[in-house]
Structure 1
Amino acid sequence: MSVVSPTELAGVFQQYLRQYAGGVLQGALPRAPPPAPLSHVPALVTNLHTFLRDDSAAPRFTKQEIAKITSVITTSEYCLETTIHLEQKLKEKIVPRLASKIDLSHEQDLFHKMISTCIQLLVQDLEVSCEPALQAMTKISWLHYDIVGDQSSYVTQIIMHLKNTVPNLRDNLASSRKYFTQFCIRFANSFIPKFIQNIYKCKPISTVGSEQLLLDTHMLKTALLELPSIGSEVKRQGPSTYTKVVIKLMTKAEMILKLVMAPIDNNLEGFVAQFVQLLPESGLVELHKVLDMKGTKLSKAQLSSMDAKFKDLSRSNSEVVK
């Protein structure tokens, strides 16, 4: 009976780890594409990318499909950790000069990619549920508001979808808390910019309409900050990595609306300075969008002067930061 060397054994493990990732884990995902050739890791990764693109317009996942996706996350996490330990153990069984020949990093990358793909599928699914509410937001007659009331119905709808979806994900990923946190961060990084783009579409808008939209934004910000523990009897503050993302992005939304409400009073340069101060990371395109929301009409000369002033202030601001 021949003795199998650690390098040969590593090759066998590589083959079956790829087979498990491509044939079992990827195959377990709902609406999965046909498996790529199991011997070729880049092909498997590309297949996962295609899965995301093709799935972006698909209907929402069922509760059973969500359970499959979260199961693939937890199983991939186990496989990833096991593969890391396996590589370490195999290297211990071989002479140091040959240790570099044992490399399971491609297989580890594949499990990383599987987890990342699953998280993105969950993010897309929640965004799909919120899309009708975002569309309703832009169809409100913001110009004709005469009094600020409670939060608008579109905000209530978004919060309802968060409450209906996130607790189940949190429970399913109870053993993989870091990946639940990643889901929350990715959702915030994807959803909030879309919300901001929809703010720019809420025009024409009155001062009272802007105040109502600012209230809505604050209520949504509060709900998003509570997202990691939403629907839970025990309220805990979310991870700092998550809360920083929400605060930064939602504060930008609030600043946009404060600028929309701010008077220009024939002092365009002063308004540009205020814009640069409140939104230091925003560009000229967003300045134009804010003015468009305000309904400000500028001549070509005024527009040219404003653009030049913005560039000067932005340049000075960048130099101060450095």
Structure 2
Amino acid sequence: MSQAKLRDQLVREFKSYWSSSLPTTIDMGGERQRKTIKDSALLIDKLGLQVKLNIIDWFIAFILRDYRRIFSPSDEAGQLDNLSTRFAWFNRILKQFQHQQDLSNIWPIHWNIKSQLLAKFNDYTSQDIQIVLKNSNLNVDSLIEAIRITKDFESQMQKKLNLHFNDQGGFKSISLVYQNVFHVYISHQDKSLADLFTKFSDSSSHQFVEESSTASVLESSSELFLNYRQILSQCATLTNGKPIVDLSKLYSKWLKIYANDILKAQLIHGINSRRSLDSKVNYNEIKISGLIINTADYCLSTAIQLEEKLKEYVYIPFKGDISFEKEGEIFNSIISNCLQRCLHNFELGIETPLNDMSRIQWSQLGNSKKKSNNITSVSNPSQYVIDLSQCILNLSSNVTKSIDQRKYYRSFLDKAVSLSVALLTRNIVKSRPLSSLGVEQLLLDLQSFRQAFLDSMESPRETGSTTSAYARHVNRALIPLETLLKVVLAPSVPAEAFVQSYTTLIADSSSQNFQKVLEMKGLPKKDQSQIHEIFRAVTATESQSEKQSNSFLTELDMDPPNRPLIPVPTINNKSEGDNCSPADYNNNPNKADSKNISPAVPMFSDFKNFFLRK
């Protein structure tokens, strides 16, 4: 018999047997019949791959012949609420097949009939469900229940058949069909979050009053992320595909709304709150700013954790589509705005002692011809700096009580130091010329000023490295002003020694900068000409490597304006863009020096920035 005839005969016998009623009998037609069919399967396996595949395809189609008729998408049995009946039907078919295989062992193991039977069932079921979903008015509860039933079935099949469903190219999952309608779930969560934000808005006018004295963050922020966590926990049981990315975009949307509509609204509440008539400082604004800083920082750090959790759940190809970087920029800008408000109040708070300082006639100190009670020596700090130190400690204490994260308080102090130095320098420049005794008094006053800021950082929560770094910042901020005063204090006679003091301490060759020092000393014009000649001669003979064309004096404005150095910050409901985090000053000084903490706030790490002419 030829191979072709043998093949046709075996196929006919095989189909005839399975089309008869014999397989449904208890003994499947008897031992002899079972052996004949088993031998036929072995022979078919030898006739080539295509013959085997044709037999398998025919058998699977035969077994599932009634499935699509019974569960037609146009009939009631084929609807989503009968999904469990579909899977129960297949379980019976699979159980019957397993019974036959256990009894007869007809099918060779390597044919993987059960897996291929499941694969075809999944294809049919996916096609049917897709039609049902397209033609039905789906609600979120029906969708969740359908996915749950489908996932349970797939879990059963994984255990029974020792296989793994993988939406990314493994054994094809029926659950994939729900991806196209998952927008129903996302829309439902969007509405739920909208309702939550309505609650936030309704309670926002009362929330601060209740929370400001006890809570360090707004309760609404923790409630928001609790809802986020609950939604994600449920969503992760339903899918690990693109809907997770869609959910992250929904989170992004409401994080922006929370920042703009809730946090900024609270900030406006602080701005408009009543302040004490006895003080220019709005302490309530400082308190609310601290609350907003804490809440924004909580949102910032929790959003980072949320991003990591989303990426943990989603399939690898989608991980790069999940990011809360832009939302982080918004929260950073809010923190910057709040810090600027604290600094604005700080400037208002030290205004009175600085005004007292400006009324002192620094040029007349030590001049016994003017007043009989004029001081003749320096022994104690001036009263203005005593008052200034007390204001610094009081204002810093109010800020540190309001801010949880020390990095933000450190950022505030860093800028408060430089702001205060700038204001002191402005007063000193306006008070020129300075007498020698006046300069000595100012140098002594600066020691009290330095100590006040050092005391502002002292806290059990601070480490030695933190306080040391802060102390270095305070010293660096004061060096230019102290250097200027020391040069002014140097005797102008002999002129050569004075010029040498300047070139040693200031170390630049600029005649314009040298002239500023002469103005601070108040030297007569005739004496200035002689000293300038000596200065030009000295700087001309120095080697090129020793000379500098400018120094911190280059940017010193000898006619500084009286406007506040910290403008009143505005509240913008749009993201301010790529802002540097206020904490970056401590974490990355180079980055902090090159970028503004807030669009309206100049960096205070550089002395010269306060004296640029506008």
Same fold flag (TM > 0.5): yes
The residue aligned with 1:162 is 392
Contact 1:30 1:68 in 2 (8 A): no
The residue aligned with 1:242 is 470
Superposed CA deviations along residues 171-219 of structure 1, whole A, max 9, x for unmatched, are 222x311111111111112221221232222222221122112111122
Can you give the 5+ residue segments of structure 2 that lack an aligned partner in the other structure?
A: 1-142, 144-180, 187-242, 272-278, 367-375, 549-614
Alignment of 1:34-113 (within 5 A): 60-113=280-333
C-alpha spacing 1:65/1:299, structure 2 compared with 1 (3 Å): closer
Deviation at 1:64, TM superposition (A): 2.5
Using the size of structure 2 for normalisation, the TM-score is: 0.43
Deviation at 1:150, TM superposition (A): 2.1
- Taking the aligned partners of 2:531 and 2:470, their CA distance within structure 1 comes to 41
The residue aligned with 2:383 is 153
C-alpha spacing 1:226/1:91, structure 2 compared with 1 (3 Å): same
Q: Name the larger-Rg structure.
A: 2
- Taking the aligned partners of 1:107 and 1:286, their CA distance within structure 2 comes to 46
Equivalent residue pairs, number: 291
C-alpha spacing 1:315/1:153, structure 2 compared with 1 (3 Å): farther
> Which one of the candidate residues 95, 108, 128 is aligned to 2:348?
128
Deviates more, 1:14-23 or 1:147-156: 147-156
Q: Does 1:254 align with 2:482?
A: yes
Contact 1:61 1:125 in 2 (8 A): yes
Deviation at 1:239, TM superposition (A): 2.2
The residue aligned with 2:430 is 201
C-alpha spacing 1:84/1:307, structure 2 compared with 1 (3 Å): farther
Q: Does 1:218 align with 2:447?
A: yes
2:520 partner letter: M
C-alpha spacing 1:152/1:243, structure 2 compared with 1 (3 Å): same
The residue aligned with 2:247 is 9
CA RMSD for the aligned pairs? 3.2
Superposed CA deviations along residues 249-270 of structure 1, whole A, max 9, x for unmatched, are 22332222111110132535x5
SS in 2 for 1:249: helix
Contact 1:276 1:313 in 2 (8 A): no
SS in 1 for 2:474: helix
The residue aligned with 1:172 is 402
SS in 1 for 2:363: helix
Q: Does 1:139 align with 2:369?
A: no
Q: Does 1:181 align with 2:401?
A: no
Deviates more, 1:61-70 or 1:84-93: 61-70
C-alpha spacing 1:151/1:87, structure 2 compared with 1 (3 Å): same
Q: Does 1:288 align with 2:288?
A: no
Deviates more, 1:279-288 or 1:251-260: 279-288
C-alpha spacing 1:140/1:23, structure 2 compared with 1 (3 Å): same
The residue aligned with 2:238 is none
C-alpha spacing 1:102/1:293, structure 2 compared with 1 (3 Å): same
Deviates more, 1:97-106 or 1:283-292: 283-292
C-alpha spacing 1:103/1:218, structure 2 compared with 1 (3 Å): same
Deviation at 1:27, TM superposition (A): 1.1
Deviation at 1:123, TM superposition (A): 1.2
Deviates more, 1:309-318 or 1:202-211: 309-318
- Taking the aligned partners of 2:547 and 2:476, their CA distance within structure 1 comes to 19
Alignment of 1:11-26 (within 5 A): 11-26=249-264
- Taking the aligned partners of 2:394 and 2:433, their CA distance within structure 1 comes to 33
Can you give the 5+ residue segments of structure 1 that lack an aligned partner in the other structure?
A: 34-58
